[in-house]
Amino acid sequence: MSRLLIVDDDIEVLALLKKFFVQQGYQVVVATDGASLWAALEREVPDLIILDLMLPGDNGLTLCQRLRQQHATPVIMLTAMGELSDRVVGLEMGADDYLSKPFDARELLARVRAVLRRAGENRPASADVPRPLIKFADWQLDLTRRELRSPDQVMIPLSAGEFDLLLVFVEHPQRILTREQLLDLARGQAHDAFDRSIDVQVSRLRRKLEFDTKRPAMIRTVRNGGYLFTPSVTRQ
């Protein structure tokens, strides 16, 4: 199964692309800016990167140039600007292909398949790349072992769904996420429009993380909005 890293600051676009590519049989990781892109690469090098041009901080062209200096991973760039000059600069910076928005997801799929086919199988193994520890409010999430440790270093067992949901929260700290966005990012697959199972998993996470579940401090409910993960997050 090929692994894709999709980088776009639009969470809705990320969710839609993740859902689409997972349905096509790909493993998908998402990032919203340069910092989360490099963090994802520290965890595991993907088979291909889909990189939006317009990002906060370092833009896609700068990131693509840096990627080319450090990795051989193929890059497909996305942009809302269809100017030929942008396309040329993107390709000169090292992009393997370039697609202008708006686009049909099936066209992007065809380009992903073509780039992966051209890249062949001479890719360095990434299984041994260590995944970092994520820390928040004195808690520690080990992405390699899929373990959560409390501030006093007690291991807190998590189900697969709870781990995936917590990972979405720590990758999008201090940002309001709707229930649909949480479902899309955590599961990457089709779900019922009225699916409330995410509320159940949030409740379970709160019982494991919060000192007072009636007044949650880390995972707050935003009325008519969704949920907000309040702690600052650091990576080791």
Per-residue exposure over 63-82, b if at least 16 CB sit within 10 Å of its own CB, e if not: bbebbeeeeebbbbbbbeee
Q: What is the mean pLDDT of the chain?
A: 83
CA 188 to centroid of chain Cα atoms: 11
pTM for the full predicted model:
0.51
Q: Do residues 115 and 88 lie in contact, with contact meaning Cβ atoms separated by under 8 Å? A: no
Query: 133-235: which CATH topology?
Result: Arc Repressor Mutant, subunit A (1.10.10)
User: How many other C-beta atoms are found inside a 10 Å radius of the C-beta of residue 185?
Assistant: 23
pLDDT number for residue 54: 84
Helix (H, G, I), strand (E, B) or coil at 76: strand
Residue 68 has pLDDT above 70, yes or no: yes
Residue 37, Cβ density class (10 Å: 0-12 exposed, 13-18 middle, ≥19 buried): buried
d(CA 191, CA 188): 9
Residue 63 has pLDDT above 70, yes or no: yes
Among 33-37, 71-75, 211-215, 222-226, whose mean pLDDT is lowest?
71-75
147 secondary structure, DSSP code: E
d(CA 169, CA 146): 15
The DSSP secondary structure of 36-102, one letter per residue, reads HHHHHHHH---SEEEEES--SSS-HHHHHHHHHHH----EEEEES---HHHHHHHHHTT-SEEEESS
Region(s) of the chain under CATH 1.10.10.10: 133-235
45 secondary structure, DSSP code: -
What would the pLDDT profile of 168-191 be if each residue is shown by its tens digit?
Answer: 999 899 999 998 888 888 765 444
What would the pLDDT profile of 195-236 be if each residue is shown by its tens digit?
Answer: 566 888 898 899 999 999 899 999 999 998 899 999 999 987
- CATH code for the part of the protein at 3-119: 3.40.50.2300
Region(s) of the chain under CATH 3.40.50.2300: 3-119
**Bridge-based pairing state of the strands 233-235 and 133-136:** antiparallel
What would the pLDDT profile of 116-165 be if each residue is shown by its tens digit?
Answer: 887 764 444 444 445 578 999 999 999 877 789 999 999 998 876 788 88
100 secondary structure, DSSP code: E
**Hunting for tokens 């800016």 — which residue is that?**
33
137 secondary structure, DSSP code: T
Residue 86 has pLDDT above 70, yes or no: no
pLDDT number for residue 205: 92
Residue 61, Cβ density class (10 Å: 0-12 exposed, 13-18 middle, ≥19 buried): buried
